[in-house]
Amino acid sequence: MQKLGERTFDVLFMNAGIFGPVPQSVENATDEQFAEIMLTNCFGPIRLARNLLAKPKLPGGTLCFMSSHRGSIEMNDEAGLTLDLYRASKVATNMLSRTIYADNRDKGLTVLSIHPGWAATTMGTLDGTVEAEISVEESVIGVASVVEGNMGSGRNLYLDYKSDRLPW
């Protein structure tokens, strides 16, 4: 942090994620597996964001978090998917990003949680065992567009790569 000095930024984007073990049920997951996914997907990005809170230009600065549609409590109605650990980590990330917003909204901070789409990455295809819905290029272009279109708005939004609102 000291190396950043007095510099400020228009946008800070927190991107960290692992899928975790497959299958991932609460009944079968070890404490270590749960801790690894929570530390990587949630606490790491949130801690970093908290430590960088002096760095977004205010008002108008924007913090972004790579989320997932799996982090929506309301949308969690797909039976048969054993994604307990991943979902819990993304719900926790969304909750804590909203807390950052609540603590800083009076300063004009924008906080975005963005689902990048089910992209053709190693994680998105579970090492090639499933087919993704979109290309990495489409995801990246979409996420960049969402950030650009909402930065500096002073709002807290949960959006997908097409800029559609997702229910918390």
- In the chain, helix, strand, coil percent, each to 5? 40, 15, 45
Residue 36 in domain: yes
The label of the residue with tokens 């079968």 reads 28
* pLDDT tens per residue, range 35-68: 999 999 999 999 999 999 988 888 899 999 999 9
How does pLDDT run across 104-152, given as a tens digit for each residue? Answer: 999 999 999 999 988 766 565 566 666 777 788 999 999 999 999 999 9
Rounded CA-CA distance 29/20 in Å is 10
In a domain, 123, yes or no: yes
* List of residues 6+ apart from 85 with CB closer than 8 A: 20, 21, 24, 26, 29, 33, 34, 37, 38
* Number of domains present in the structure of the chain: 1
Residue 111 lies in a domain: yes
- Domain annotation covers residue 86: yes
Residue 138 domain flag? yes
Instruction: Name the DSSP class of 2.
Output: G
- pTM here is 0.91
pLDDT tier at 72 (50, 70, 90 boundaries)? Answer: very high
| 56 prior amide bond cis, ω within 30 | no
Q: Which of 36-50, 88-102, 111-125, 154-168 has the lowest mean pLDDT?
A: 111-125
Could you give the percent of the chain with pLDDT greater than 90?
64
**Per the domain annotation, does 165 fall within a domain?**
no
Domain-embedded: residue 19: yes
pLDDT of amino acid 158: 98
The first and second tokens of residue 23, run together, are 């299958």
Element (H, E) at 156: strand 156-160
Query: Residue 58: what pLDDT?
Result: 86
**Residue 116 CA to chain centroid, in angstroms?**
9
Q: Which residue range is the domain that position 125 belongs to?
A: 2-160
Domain assignment present for residue 59? The answer is: yes
Looking up residue 122, the CATH number of its domain turns out to be 3.40.50.720
| Per-residue pLDDT at 102 exceeds 90 | yes
pLDDT at 124: 57
Which comes out higher in pLDDT, residue 81 or 18?
18
Q: Locate 62 and state its tokens.
A: 């924007």
